[in-house]
Chain A
Amino acid sequence: GAVVSQHPSWVICKSGTSVKIECRSLDFQATTMFWYRQFPKQSLMLMATSNEGSKATYEQGVEKDKFLINHASLTLSTLTVTSAHPEDSSFYICSARGAQGIYNEQFFGPGTRLTVL
């Protein structure tokens, strides 16, 4: 299957700072990328859908000014957590889907563990 990478795999930051997480599709062009957040022992919660060259569509309750998403190329999307606080500590996972259609498989990245002190 196709490969999606995330960087960094884990990050620790101080409260009030911003953190950028990268999601890359390594061997295919991802017209759509998705960002999820997962708290311990819980399910994946979709945060936003990002289409290349367009503004991201955020799920209800997700602050777009706090979670900045950029999808400037067909192989890279970034999620920036601005002014991070301890409650933002979570496992952030991206997925990427090619241009074949909405029923095409989403390939998931390995996740990024964010800890805010």
Chain B
Amino acid sequence: GESVGLHLPTLSVQEGDNSIINCAYSNSASDYFIWYKQESGKGPQFIIDIRSNMDKRQGQRVTVLLNKTVKHLSLQIAATQPGDSAVYFCAENKGRNQGGKLIFGQGTELSVKP
């Protein structure tokens, strides 16, 4: 069935390095994707989103890239800080026919070493 998945379940980086978290999706008709950060015991927190009419979108220290050809998106975090340690999820908005519900990927746990 349809799914949104991640390539790497865990990622460990040194403080100050850049982090790249990947996500694959299976529904080529999907047109809206969101990245969330979830700290332990808390609800997801919005980071950045991207529509399918864009290839790249930048925020503060974060960049999301969308490759529709291979159905892949990534989240890049610049100058990773200890406070970035969390689990990161990509989510796919299923569109109007499904009430705009979100389907979450499996998640990547990011660990930042000081």
Name the residue on B nearest A57 (C-beta): B99
- Contact in complex: A43, B100 (CB < 8 Å): no
A13 within 8 A of B: no
In the complex the two chains form, is B107's CB within 8 Å of A43's CB? yes
Alpha-carbon separation in the docked complex, A44 to B38 (Å):
10
Contacting residues, chain A, for B96 (C-beta < 8 A): 102
Question: Known contacts A43-B89, A111-B41, A111-B42; is A106 also within 8 Å of B102 by CB?
Answer: yes
Q: Is the CB of B93 within 8 A of A44?
A: no
Binds A, one of B43-51, B62-70, B73-81: B43-51
What's the least CB distance linking B24 to chain A, in Å? 14
Q: Which residue of A is nearest B6, CB measured?
A: A43
Where chain A touches its partner, the secondary structure class is strand
Inter-subunit contact A110/B99 (CB<8 Å):
no
Binary per-residue interface labels of chain A (99-117) against chain B in the complex, 1 for a CB within 8 Å, 0 otherwise: 0011111111111010000
Shortest distance in angstroms between B50's beta carbon and chain A's nearest beta carbon? Answer: 12
List, in ascending order, chain A residues with CB within 8 A of B93's CB. 102-103
**Closest CB of chain A to B61's CB: distance in Å?**
18
Q: Is the CB of A43 within 8 A of B42?
A: no
* CB-defined contacts of A42 to chain B, threshold 8 Å: 106-107
A71 at the interface (CB under 8 A from B): no
With A and B bound together, what is the CA distance between A70 and B106 in angstroms?
28
A113–B40 Cα distance when bound, in Å, is 12
Spell out A's residues near B (CB within 8 Å).
1, 4, 6, 32, 34, 36, 42-46, 49, 51, 57, 91, 93, 95, 97, 101-111, 113
